[in-house]
Amino acid sequence: MGTIRFSSRDLSAGPASLNPSSSIPTTTSTSITETVNGSHEFKVDGYSLSKGMGIGKYVASDTFYIGGYAWAVYFYPDGKSSEDNASYVSLFIALASEGTDVRALFELTLMDQSGKERHKVHSHFGRALESGPYTLKYRGSMWGYKRFYKRTQLETSDFLKDDTLLIRCCVGVVKSHTEGPKTYTIAVPPSNIGQHFGKLLDSGKGTDVNFEVDGEICASHKIVLAARSPVFRAQLFGPMKDQNTQCIKVEDMEAPVFKVSNCGVVQDICGAIHKCIRGFISQGIDPFYILGCLTRHGGACWFELKMGFHTDGSASACSSRSLCT
């Protein structure tokens, strides 16, 4: 028969250890619902001439765009419904583009043109919490009022001036989306550290190692050379470093060639030479052969070997061979 053992720690852990929220990472997201708002002003010039055009007949505004949909204002001088017998003017906002179940808030305002700011406003915005946005099912669906204003009162009001009506329509199209944690992308410029090291070398500031080349002293920076070359790192800072690291003598190289090579190492512009050397070595060619070729044709071999293609031996071993034809 098997045995199950409980420790006091197991029993004291309690139900908290069973709570997944204590150990499972939590992610978050937010559903955001908001309105994209816009407005349009529609002027009805020559109101008196539009009277008598017939019940259900309208004059329309130009098409305007809000929230990704096209809209138009319809004004019915003789009313929209025959049951009112042309006693009221009707005013509607219509969906003028393709769409299904477009949810929006609306406001229709007949502007007071006397300067008293006593506008006649029918707004859906203020009732959004009570009834929610209005849904337009398809193109041509409308929202508005059949009995927007009694016609006899309109014609004696400050809303009509110089036979002109001014109507303002506001639309708030409902949009929803879900947001997760935001990620930011930062464009990182290409590295120019080589240029900075090159300027530092040109300035001569902070140099702490000298190379004697063909009787001329060329200064450089130990830390930069060590960072660029494992061989320099061992020679300048390693346990087997040279006794005199303040001045290193370079043989079989002219000073101008050394300066160019030094600049190349510091500014990292020797990539093509590196690739060539690696290709030769991969073919089993003696690196001293490479050294001899570069000495004759470029003079950068000493630095190339210092950059990591270094084998036991001396420059004299290379110079004693007739390697390049």
Same domain, 38 and 171: yes
In a domain, 242, yes or no: yes
In a domain, 20, yes or no: no
In a domain, 2, yes or no: no
Tokens of 174: 């409902």
In a domain, 279, yes or no: yes
Q: What is the pLDDT of residue 297?
A: 40
The tens digit of pLDDT for each residue in 26-67 reads 889 999 999 999 999 999 999 999 998 999 999 999 999 999
Give the residue with greater pLDDT, 122 vs 255: 122
Closest CA to 46 of 57, 59, 56: 59
In a domain, 3, yes or no: no
Same domain, 169 and 242: no
> Which contacts qualify for 242-246: CB closer than 8 Å, 24 or more apart?
245/209, 246/208, 246/209, 246/210
Last residue of a domain, one of 177, 203, 223: 177
- Residue range(s) defining the domain that contains residue 106: 34-177
Q: What is the pLDDT of residue 286?
A: 54
Q: What is the pLDDT of residue 218?
A: 81
Split into its structural domains, the chain has a count of: 2
Tokens of 100: 């299904």
Give the residue with greater pLDDT, 174 vs 294: 174
Same domain, 139 and 248: no
The tens digit of pLDDT for each residue in 94-138 reads 999 998 899 999 999 999 998 888 998 888 887 766 778 889 999
